[in-house]
Chain A
Amino acid sequence: MPAADNGASHTMIETRNLVKSVDTSEGLLTILKGIDLRIAAGESVAIVGASGSGKSTLLGLMAGLDGATSGDILLDGHSLAEMDEEQRAILRGQLVGFVFQSFQLLPSLTALENVMLPIELKGDPDPRGKARQLLERVGLDERWHHYPNQLSGGEQQRVAIARAFATQARILFADEPTGNLDTATGGKIIDLLFDLNREFATTLVLVTHDERLAQRCDRIVNLVAGEIAGESSPNSITEGRDDRGQEAVNA
């Protein structure tokens, strides 16, 4: 297992010449054309780009939800290319949390059970207590026994956020977390996400069209037609975070 710098400044996510192609009826379509990206621990990065630029694909690959055509991804030093889906699943359970545009709560479980699920899967003690605590933290302690379809979109996303932080994941991937929410609710969700991110010192990678959301991140990576077209650092307070990991090499 590769050694990882045991400091706040070590690289949490690294992609090396990442390529993803898919077979379509019109032949081979290359969605990602060699992405090299390094994201430091604790950093928050927004990936932006037009529809079809490959940002969701990049997110899926970095999270180990899919296999790359070539290149490699290192999550906290673990090479995903060397793993099969079983091992990736275990790694996800240990390391990664998710927040999705469509919330992706299990409809047949209550809010509480949804949050408990990853804790149970990971085998951590006291899933119930932890889950209650987190629901309280996202402001839903009154509604823990409700089912997803009894909750509003904003509330469902809160549950999803609570679930994402339930196993104290070190990396949080978010796919358009405000995409299904109105402006006011989206704003609250953004606040919550960043507050928790700060609290748990999570590395946050999100894909978004939401300018406000992107602006809250340490770094914005702009993806155009499967390539990184540029990066910018919004004028945000980084709270003394080390900038070394932000060097992104453009292909």
Chain B
Amino acid sequence: MPESPPDLVDTKPAAKLFVLATRLLWRDWQGGELRLLFLALVMAVTSVTGIALFTDRLEKALLVESANMLAADRIVSGRGELPREVMTEGQARGLRNAETLSFTSMAFSDTGNMLVAAKAVTEEYPLRGDVIIADAPFVRGRPIQSGPPRGEVWLESRALPALGIEVGDTVYVGEAEFTVSNIIITEPDRAGGSMVDNAGPRLMLHMDDVAATNVVQLGSRISYRFLFAHDDIDELDAFESWFRDQEQWRGRFYIRDVRDESEEVSEALSRAESFLLLGSLSAVLLAGVAIALTAKRYSERHYDYVAILKTLGCTSTQISTIYLTIQLLLACIAVVVGCVLGWLVHQGILSLLQSLLLVELPAAGFEPYVIGTLTAFICLLAFALPPLLALRETPPLRVLRKDMSQQKIGANVPYVFGILGTIFLIYWYSQDLVLTSVLVASVAGIALFLSVVSYLFLRSSGSAGMKAGSAWMLAMTATRRRRSQNVLQVMVFSVTIMSLLVLTLLRTDLIDEWQAQLPQNTPNHFMMNITAGQIDGIEAFFAENGVESNAFYPLISARVTHVNGDVPNPRDEDEDGDGANTITGGAQLDEVDVDPQAAAALAGGDQAGADQQSAGNQLQSAGNQPQAAGNQQAAGNQSQAEGGTRVRGRLSRRQVTWADEVPPDNLITAGTWWGSEPEAGFVSVEEEYASWLGLEIGDRLEFEINRQQISAEVSSFRSVRWDNMQPNFFIIFSPGTIDHLAGTFLSTALMEREQKVLLNDLVRMFPTIVIIEIDALIEQIQSIIAQVTSAIELISILVLLCGALVLLSCVSASLDERFHENAILRTLGAGRKLILSSLLIEFAFIGLVAGCIATVGAEASLYYLQEEIFEQEFSFHYWVWFAGPVLGMIIISGLGMNATRKVVKTSPLNVLRQVV
């Protein structure tokens, strides 16, 4: 048949190739060839998109919610009346603004009276969040974005029975008369209020009515606040730096933002963010490994395919085009499916958290989808493309000679791309060069270690297995024969199991720690200024009413005057004045002036410790933390210059106590606690405070207490958990040392919401005691921690799924060879039982080795992560040393057996025909 001479220019139109590629894609899809690869891609996109969407929205929400805690974006507060220029400047900069003024006052009705925490607000209040009000006491309220109008006040529920009034009745504050128009259930900045705000039930009134009451006069104990808000964070920052530049206000007026509000919350959040980052990184990495494995297997199964295509006249370029098209199509579908699933996952997380989230979450941006999409393509490029592109090198002669191997594909080439892609992804996610290099270096180290160890493990297995029965021998020789393949498998298995162990343990430790930090039964009310004579009465009152009450701590103000006979010389703390100023509130003490006694108790006499943000903070440091004090010192260079004594005097005045036993959550870090028959004259010091003062065990300390000199020997150092919202002390004396000096007592109680009305009776029975209500604060922290915990749980599940996928693809990758080999064994007369048990032993052995290595790796990584990033105490997880290997064995052999079940079910002839 005559024909024109063939044209050696490539004439196949691109459209034909595309059609061919789609057809191959469809066929491979139907044949199940692409399922795992597709699943891996979808997994990568789903986890990244889901996590990104969730964190995006959660971050926005938490920002909003914490802004609500302040009722503003920035707050200016301080000693005495605030300079008007601050307000003028804020207004000039276009910031929304409001003013509040808190003071304690007596409120009177026709039938009763009580001490209330009054708060006057301007019309604009609150700038963020809602005030929740109701028509009747003790009911669920409705949100409103203002305070009471002129002439009206809103009262907190429990004030009504105490005053014997109802909504609509009249109350008197000072010289003014008001109508109680609403019940105030809560206000946004209730938990973040000052000392004054925690001194009794709230009475909220309009700012313009304050003058008429005539209770606020020079010298009154008043907390002034300017509130500012703006939607542009840059404007806020500019305003803040303007404020900080005003030298004349330094040490007297302070600006704060949401981040400073609660140390516990911000720490929980930053840890949660680290965890989420780590979780999503693990998910991407695991999905990447799954993609690499499945793509490699896919390529291997396509060598013949490509050889045939080549004999049919396909050029290498066309081969690449076809496979590139297939992968891109696959990636596009995976991106769409993954984004949808990711959206669903984040919706799932949200619906779980619905009850906990107090605010409507702001809509997420489109960035999470972009991130998910890019991840899919980067994963594909880094992990899947190299083996697929290697296909073009398939020699066509393979159609004639099966043994023609892929000579040109260096086994390591794909991994180079994978590693580079991984590094890029990590950097891209974390945006942190240090974290990236540390992670890359440690993973590389672990990989190297693992490969050496697993190689040695498998090498030794040969001789070990020879003496056993035949299934054992078969398995061991098989394991040894596929050594290089198995080393890779063990590596993949161990890295996967390791990641899962690390995340699971980290998650457990984090959640445990959080829950231990503020357990459900954390006391939420503090009672101070209790005299020794009142203790029995209070205990009886609580027992009668079913309230859980706690130990009574004696409380007395003391000042360190000499260390070993010398004037104390505290070390300078290397602290940033600004930061700590805001966080531990080293300085906002001046609003605290409730009552000289209570103030002394709270602020530790020197008033340096009264942390205005939360009464809890003040209490935990019944005398402030060294850092905060150090800041105070740093902030007030001037006073240091004037004379060291004054600074030291201020710094070392503390609320001290004495005790028989070590308080809960305290650990002796050096020296010994006094025994069951304690001697007088000893003192136990908090370790950081001790190191700040440069103390050593056996040092002699002299104190000035109630104008008397007391001397005591340092017998132990203690570590204290400052974040447990419980009374904590820097200095504890042994019993008998200072008992004779009159002091007051401090105690705590847990009162549920419905029990709060009991406070009225308590105050009536013991009018001198001061009650600090921190229930709102604790509740808020607990709810945020609960949210974060649920988020972490969900991320862990996602990562677990990714890990399962990797294990599955790794087992499948080794399947073809086993299939063929076992089919031959069966034709040679090996029974099902023999093959099954040999397979079981082989997989179990690989799983055991991987589990052991994973356990070691997990503990090592955890040590690093907890010490360096999560700032947790690392402790060995003994059960993991047993569970890791056993789990590895069970999981791998389970997956392996399930996947290779077909080997023994299909007839050998079929296997041999198909797999040739």
Task: State the A residues within 8 Å of B (CB).
Answer: 1, 4, 6, 56, 59-60, 63, 65-66, 76-78, 83, 85-87, 89-96, 98, 100, 102, 104-109, 113, 117-118, 120-123, 149, 163, 168, 170, 175, 200-201
Contacts and interface: CB of A to CB of B under 8 A. Distances in A.
Contacts of A113: 23, 27
Contact of B2 (A6, A60, A90, A175): A6
Contacts of A89: 310, 313-316, 318, 396
A212 to B, nearest CB: 22
B402 to A, nearest CB: 8
Contacts of B311: 63, 65, 92, 96, 98, 104
B316 A102 contact: no
A96 B33 CA distance: 30
Given A86-B317, A93-B313, A65 B13 contact: no
Contacts of B314: 89, 93, 121
A100 to B, nearest CB: 6
Contacts of A105: 308
B400 A56 contact: yes
B916 to A, nearest CB: 6
Contacts of A200: 1
B138 interface: no
B914 A106 contact: no
Given A108-B28, A121-B20, A100 B13 contact: no
Contact of A94 (B313, B396, B400, B401): B313
B741 interface: no
A230 B28 CA distance: 47
Given A66-B395, A66-B397, A92-B310, 12 more contacts: A56-B401, A65-B395, A66-B396, A90-B9, A98-B311, A104-B304, A104-B399, A106-B308, A118-B313, A121-B314, A123-B11, A168-B1
Interface of B: 1-3, 5-13, 16, 19-20, 23-24, 27-28, 30-31, 33, 304-305, 307-318, 395-397, 399-401, 913-914, 916
Nearest to A200: B1
A145 to B, nearest CB: 13
Best-buried of B308, B317, B914 by chain A (most CB within 10 Å):
B308
A6 B2 CA distance: 8
B34 to A, nearest CB: 10
5 contacts: A89-B396, A92-B312, A94-B7, A108-B28, A108-B33
B399 A100 contact: yes
Contacts of A107: 31, 914
A102 B916 CA distance: 9
Given A93-B314, A106-B305, A106-B308, A87 B8 contact: yes
Contacts of B308: 104-106
Nearest to A173: B311
A130 to B, nearest CB: 14
A83 B9 CA distance: 12
B31 A108 contact: yes
Best-buried of A86, A87, A90, A106 by chain B (most CB within 10 Å):
A90
A170 B3 contact: yes
B22 to A, nearest CB: 12
Contacts of B24: 108
A168 B318 CA distance: 22
A157 to B, nearest CB: 14
B5 to A, nearest CB: 6
Nearest to A8: B2
A118 B916 contact: no
A123 B16 contact: yes
A59 B400 contact: yes
Contacts of B19: 120
B397 A94 contact: no
Contacts of B13: 123
Contacts of A118: 312-313
Best-buried of A66, A94, A108, A149 by chain B (most CB within 10 Å):
A108
Contacts of B399: 65, 98, 100, 104
Contacts of B5: 1, 4, 76-77
Contacts of A93: 312-314
A90 B400 contact: no
A149 B916 CA distance: 12
Nearest to B33: A108
Contacts of B16: 120-121, 123
A92 B10 CA distance: 12
B914 A149 contact: yes
Contacts of B31: 107-108
Contact of B312 (A60, A121, A168, A201): A121
A90 B8 CA distance: 6
Best-buried of A56, A95, A120, A163 by chain B (most CB within 10 Å):
A120
A145 B56 CA distance: 51
B305 to A, nearest CB: 6
Nearest to B29: A108
B312 A117 contact: yes
Closest 9 CB pairs of A and B: A93-B313, A94-B6, A108-B27, A89-B315, A65-B396, A66-B397, A65-B397, A86-B315, A118-B312
A107 B301 CA distance: 11
Best-buried of A94, A105, A168 by chain B (most CB within 10 Å):
A94
Given A78-B6, A93-B313, A121-B313, A109 B27 contact: yes
Nearest to B307: A104
A66 B33 CA distance: 29
A168 B7 CA distance: 15
B298 to A, nearest CB: 12
Given A4-B5, A123-B12, A90 B315 contact: yes
A109 to B, nearest CB: 6
Contacts of A6: 2
Given A98-B399, A100-B400, A91 B20 contact: no
Contact of A90 (B305, B313, B395, B401): B313
A86 B315 CA distance: 5
A1 B8 CA distance: 10
A159 B581 CA distance: 83
A93 B10 CA distance: 10
Contacts of A83: 8
A163 to B, nearest CB: 8
Contact of B6 (A90, A100, A163): A90
A103 to B, nearest CB: 10
Contacts of B310: 65, 89, 92
Contacts of A123: 11-13, 16
Contacts of B309: 117, 121
Nearest to A127: B16
Best-buried of B7, B9, B309, B315 by chain A (most CB within 10 Å):
B315
Nearest to A117: B312
Contacts of A100: 399-400
B258 to A, nearest CB: 58
A54 B317 CA distance: 31
Contacts of A92: 310-313, 396
Nearest to B317: A86
Best-buried of B5, B13, B19, B400 by chain A (most CB within 10 Å):
B400
A109 B2 CA distance: 31
B16 to A, nearest CB: 6
A60 to B, nearest CB: 5
A170 B3 CA distance: 9
A38 to B, nearest CB: 19
Best-buried of B19, B307, B314 by chain A (most CB within 10 Å):
B314
B313 A60 contact: no
A77 to B, nearest CB: 8
Given A59-B400, A102-B916, A90 B10 contact: yes
B914 A122 contact: no
A163 B16 CA distance: 18
Best-buried of B9, B309, B399 by chain A (most CB within 10 Å):
B399
A109 B23 CA distance: 9
Contacts of B315: 85-86, 89-90
A65 B313 contact: no
